[in-house]
Amino acid sequence: MISITRRRFLGTSAAVAGAVALSSGKAAAAESPANKVVLALIGAGGRGSALLAGFSTVPGVEFKYICDVDTARGTSSLQLLEKALGRAPQRVGDMRQIFDDKDVHGVIIATPDHWHALATVWACQAGKDVYVEKNASYSIWEGRKMIDAARKYKRIVQCGLQNRSAPYANTARQYLASGKLGKVVHVKVYNMNPGGAFKAQPDSQSPATLDWDKWIGPAAMVPYNVSRHRDWYSWYDYCGGELGNDGSHQLDLARNVLGDPPPPKHVHSAAGNYAYGTKRQTPEFQEVTYEFDDFVMTCSSGTFPSYLRKSNNEERNGSKFPLWSMNCERIEIYGTKQLMYVGRHGVGWQVMEGEGKVVAEEKGVHPDKYHQPNFIDCIRSRKLPNADVEIAHGAALLAHMGNIAYRCGNLRVEFDPATERFVNCDAANALVRQPMREKYRIPDEV
């Protein structure tokens, strides 16, 4: 096991690259810890590395395992950790080794999206609490199964929607609730990330170090392709594209600030590979319109505008506000009296009136420092976390609905929140629950 400071971790290991260990299994639940919390990381890529570093700074947290299906990835980081500290987390290639260990209290799941739900269900069945990265689920049906498993097995399931733990998000929500902005009529969510043309690669032999079958997991088996493996955000087979990637952060933050409204009744999506005309599955640009009862929200999502940029470290740590018009991840909330800008990941919010006069504002700091300890606190207290799986399901729904409308032919679809299905649209309902391979299947009854 290992417990280290963030500075020491980053000084010895800049990144832990990897995929995910994939398998099933059940074990008796570990007892709720009074102090020490033992974790395992499943999926040690770029985000997994950051989570390992962040959670290691939380008092009383130790990592016992790092799970990866590619034996070539993460090796150098583990060697550096062992050299610096004399010990390192145990490397495994099978989830069942983690689930069978009664000493492990929780798992951190940082895999591609198509593995989030199944890994979460298996972990809950094994008596482990779960921190699962965004987008919480790969499909609407899977999201509901994650909720069912968390409730049935009385597990804590926190999603990596860090803005749910940001103090400034709560004050923005309070400002809207006060009525000062007036009646909200229109919300614009931006997810216009810089990017470039998708470069398709031919199928090839899988690397000898990689278990391709396990990486594919629930998805349909196809020959190895480096484009799928390294650029899986371009494939609906493994995720919801950019809308489900960074877009899930902004969609959830907007929902939070707006007071978590019920799902929209109608959704329309227009999208396509307009910028570069590449052959990627997920679109280079997508515009989604969500029709709520008394306001409209749009989400502009893409990977082509090099002139827009994400918030920098100064902006995410409260030193200054961004130039909103050139920020690719902003939210604009239009009331009848005022306009509010909201930024994710610590950027904060500003309210403006005519001629750009700022009448209210609050800066923030990156909320990982609150969000990760919240998960550990909830492992101990058994209280619902800030981004509980049911809250995360609400954000995932928006991404899934937008993608389904596009994949059905840029349709305007009607959604029934009671059944979580679409009204009179067989094509849309066919995408509510997508097929899973037999040995990697979530059962109807979790």
Angle of helix 140-152 relative to helix 389-407, nearest 10 degrees, comes to 160
Q: Give 31's pLDDT tier (boundaries 50, 70, 90).
A: low
Query: Residue 416 corresponds to which tokens in the numbers above?
Result: 């029934």
> Does residue 12 register a pLDDT over 50?
no
* 80-94, 191-205, 326-340: the lowest-pLDDT one: 80-94
Long-range contacts of 200-209 (CB under 8 A, 24+ apart): 200/227, 200/278, 200/279, 200/280, 201/225, 201/226, 201/227, 207/70, 207/72, 209/70, 209/71, 209/72, 209/73
Closest C-alpha among 2, 1, 6, 80 to residue 372? 6
> Does residue 30 register a pLDDT over 80?
no
Span 80-99, average pLDDT: 76
* 44-53, 195-204, 234-243: the lowest-pLDDT one: 44-53
257/195: higher pLDDT? 257
Instruction: Compute the distance between CA of residue 54 and CA of residue 374 in angstroms, rounded to an integer.
Output: 12
Domain 6-163+369-388 in this protein, CATH class: alpha beta
> Does residue 50 register a pLDDT over 90?
no
CATH superfamily of 166-367+389-446: Dihydrodipicolinate Reductase; domain 2 (3.30.360.10)
Per-residue pLDDT of 307-362, as tens digits, reads 999 999 999 999 999 999 999 999 999 999 999 999 999 999 999 999 999 999 99
Mean pLDDT of the chain: 90
CATH 3.30.360.10 residue spans of the chain: 166-367+389-446
**Residue tagged 């329309």 (tokens):** 268
Q: Give 6's pLDDT tier (boundaries 50, 70, 90).
A: very low
CATH 3.40.50.720 residue spans of the chain: 6-163+369-388
Closest C-alpha among 56, 48, 40 to residue 15? 48
Q: Give 117's pLDDT tier (boundaries 50, 70, 90).
A: very high
The per-residue pLDDT for 14 is: 33
Q: Which pTM was predicted? A: 0.91
Query: Residue 252 corresponds to which tokens in the numbers above?
Result: 């959830």
